[in-house]
Structure 1
Amino acid sequence: MEQSNTISLPVTVEKDIKDSFSVNLLNNQTLDSPISIRLKYNRIFLIKDGSGILYIDGAAYPVSGSEIFLLAKEQIFSFSKHSTLSGYELCFGDCFWEKTPASVNNCKAVLFNNTADNQHIPVPFSGYQNMDMLFNTLFLEHESEDYINKTDAMAAYLKVIMIKTANLNASLTKAYDNFEKQIYRQFLGLVQKQFHTTHDVSDFASQLNISTRKLSGICKRNSNKGPKDIISLQVITEAKRALQFSTKPVKEIAFELNFNSPEQFSHFFKKYTNFSPHLYRLDFVKIGM
């Protein structure tokens, strides 16, 4: 994975998907007209083979094959022109995920509440055939005629796929039953939902019923980052998206991200990027020309 500064594309918000769930078969599909899409649904790409580059929130991931890409809702992605893909594209909303048993909720949290760390998962040759079989079974089920409880059946297949995906990464499997990991995942989930309204570590610690010191220790042991850094990274990511892909004034972006003034936002943004919001936007526009 490497930082991308090579393209600038108009952003299209993902269209609504029936029943908040879809599975698409990709058979040597060539992308001749790439567009950037802001996701309303979580997404899993199982790539058997392919070529090109997948861009996710400004980071570039070469596509080669025998791999999985995880994309969470609100992320922005696109493929480079003439990228080719063979495999499957699985999309699901949180409302569909609620149909899966509660026992597997930790699995989704591990994979999607910190997607940046799990964006790309190589699939060993020995395990790809099994993953392909699972996706193909789900695809055939999705394409079959509707029947009572069909969505429940597909949710069950999704559960198995999520567990198998997590098991591909040994570091993720250790996270299921560890209480401290559960607190960490809950914190990541709260940050994703509430960074527009608060950046205060104590607010999140209070919701988790632990002290700020305890939360700090948990975050550092699980990510080598403090809770403030994790919150700031989420805010910076969203700020970059807004500056790159919208025409909103900096003042409006600042207030939407819960800053008291444009000056406070500018100081914060420059601290983490070495650019003022205005210069960052200008630089991005120049790159896309």
Structure 2
Amino acid sequence: MEAADTFDIDILIEKEIKDSFYIGQSKNLTIENSEILRADYNRIFLISEGNGTLYVDDRALEISGKEMFLIGKGQVFSFEKFSVLTGYELIFGDCFWEKTPASANNCKAILFNNISGNQNLKIPAEKFPEFSFLFETLFTEFCGDDYINKPDALAAYLKIIMIKTGNLNKLLSEAADDFDNKLYNKFLNLVAKKYYEIHGVSEYARQLNISARKLSEICKQHNGKGPKDIINNQLITEAKRALQFTKKPVKEIAFDLDFATAEQFSHFFKKYTQLSPQQYRSGFVKIGM
């Protein structure tokens, strides 16, 4: 993982990756420096063996092997010092993803638009060799000599991996490519793009050309939560990132997230976390984050 200049609280800005695509392999890699990195690209870690902890935003995920970790663009992550990893790190940007056939878009949307629900995917022992083979094949292709259509070949392998990964996700396995499922994915896409300027369910429903009631039914059918919960969860996640990893005043964070006042934002944040924004930030300062 490459990184560059520090950003606020020892957070590193990711360097630009050639062609917005990279895959690397690690064998018994011991993490010597626990650097905090803000992802500018989407990531999939395939871990065959390992131990330690992966921190993503404010979550701690134990590493045990035969699993995947998904990191979405904009998330902040680091490995605990002395974690040991064997496996692959697959990185791709949005512009590279556009090379993949459209038929894989549904898989990516479900996996990465609901990234917090898909951060760690356990792979059944009987299926792991298949994933290992796919990543090994992609790694070999990536390391080989360049040729005119190589990006298209890499994109084809990425599509297969994304589809196979999507099938690990219970939601994707059970959800047919029906109208409601498409609407749900469109809603997740809109929230990911518009959370900082649109907070109301009715406006999202209007943009989807359905009623707010229909949107509520679709969301509860697919993940058990209403659309307002999904919107608010996105806002809380972004607020936590800003409080942990930037020195922005609470007033500025409130403005960035389109709250009318800092007081309105503080009330909203405390309702969902039981802490004021300043209390939340102070907690991370005390533990040296």
- Whether the aligned pair in 2 keeps the contact of 1:66 and 1:122 (CA below 8 Å) is yes
Q: Which runs of 5+ in 1 are unaligned?
A: 1-8
Residue 159 (structure 1) aligned with residue 154 (structure 2): no
Residue 73 (structure 1) aligned with residue 92 (structure 2): no
Q: How far apart, CA to CA, are the structure 2 residues paired with 1:28 and 1:176?
A: 40
Q: How far apart, CA to CA, are the structure 1 residues paired with 2:260 and 2:111?
A: 33
AA of the residue aligned to 1:33: N
**Which residue does 1:19 correspond to in 2?**
19
Q: How far apart, CA to CA, are the structure 2 residues paired with 1:21 and 1:75?
A: 18
**Which residue does 1:114 correspond to in 2?**
114
1:109-188 paired onto structure 2 within 5 Å = 109-188=109-188
Q: Identical aligned pairs, as a percentage?
A: 59
| Equivalent residue pairs, number | 282
Return the TM-score normalized by structure 2: 0.95
Deviation at 1:52, TM superposition (A): 0.3
AA of the residue aligned to 1:221: Q
Q: How far apart, CA to CA, are the structure 2 residues paired with 1:37 and 1:182?
A: 33
AA of the residue aligned to 2:194: Q
Q: How far apart, CA to CA, are the structure 1 residues paired with 2:168 and 2:244?
A: 34
Residue 221 (structure 1) aligned with residue 225 (structure 2): no
- Whether the aligned pair in 2 keeps the contact of 1:50 and 1:83 (CA below 8 Å) is yes
Q: How far apart, CA to CA, are the structure 2 residues paired with 1:221 and 1:161?
A: 27
- Does 177-186 or 68-77 show the bigger shift? 177-186
- Whether the aligned pair in 1 keeps the contact of 2:100 and 2:156 (CA below 8 Å) is yes
AA of the residue aligned to 1:129: P
**Which residue does 2:104 correspond to in 1?**
104
AA of the residue aligned to 1:243: L
Deviations 1:58-90 (A, max 9, x none): 111110111111111111111100001000000
- Whether the aligned pair in 2 keeps the contact of 1:110 and 1:175 (CA below 8 Å) is no
**Which residue does 2:251 correspond to in 1?**
251
**Which residue does 2:197 correspond to in 1?**
197
What is the RMSD computed on CA atoms of the aligned residues? 1.4
- Whether the aligned pair in 2 keeps the contact of 1:106 and 1:176 (CA below 8 Å) is no
Q: How far apart, CA to CA, are the structure 2 residues paired with 1:32 and 1:146?
A: 33
> Which 4+ runs in 1 deviate beyond 6 A?
none
- Whether the aligned pair in 1 keeps the contact of 2:171 and 2:222 (CA below 8 Å) is no
**Which residue does 1:4 correspond to in 2?**
none
Task: Give 3-state SS (helix, strand or coil) of 2:66's partner.
Answer: strand
Deviations 1:173-227 (A, max 9, x none): 2235132121111111110111111111111111111011111111111111111
**Which residue does 1:30 correspond to in 2?**
30
Q: How far apart, CA to CA, are the structure 1 residues paired with 2:175 and 2:118?
A: 13
- Whether the aligned pair in 2 keeps the contact of 1:47 and 1:65 (CA below 8 Å) is yes
AA of the residue aligned to 1:276: S
Task: Give 3-state SS (helix, strand or coil) of 1:99's partner.
Answer: coil
Return the TM-score normalized by structure 1: 0.95
**Which residue does 1:6 correspond to in 2?**
none
Task: Give 3-state SS (helix, strand or coil) of 2:131's partner.
Answer: helix
Q: Which runs of 5+ in 2 are unaligned?
A: 1-8
Q: How far apart, CA to CA, are the structure 2 residues paired with 1:271 and 1:57?
A: 20
